[in-house]
Amino acid sequence: MNPVRDNNFYYVYVLRSKKSKLWYTGFSDDLRKRFKEHNNNAVGWTKSRGPFELIYYEASRNKQDARSREKYLKSGMGKRYLKNRLERFLSLTG
């Protein structure tokens, strides 16, 4: 089973703009398609802020769990969690 190709998952993801280094946290049921949309300027908030790199994602079988996780990751506590979780990666990539 490949979770990224399995339609029974919901994804919470974090993108980082290669231009501005700003982060964007989102939700999707098709991570590959959504990532392409972000990089093709087809998504409102990220329009003209790309290109992006996918720096983190979580998969869930339950849509509401994934939505709740997205909301948490957008909160102050969630942002701190991501920063701590990705600290090593971020120091390696600048």
Q: What pLDDT, on a 0 to 100 scale, did the predictor assign at position 53?
A: 94
Rg of the Cα atoms in the chain? 13
pTM for the model: 0.85
Distance CA 28, CA 35 (A): 9
pLDDT at 94 over 60: no
Domain architecture of the chain: domains with CATH: 10-93 (3.40.1440)
Query: Which pLDDT tens digit goes with each residue over 33-92?
Result: 999 999 998 888 788 888 999 999 999 999 999 999 999 999 999 999 999 999 877 775
Beta bridge partners of 24: 15
The pLDDT assigned to 67 comes to: 97
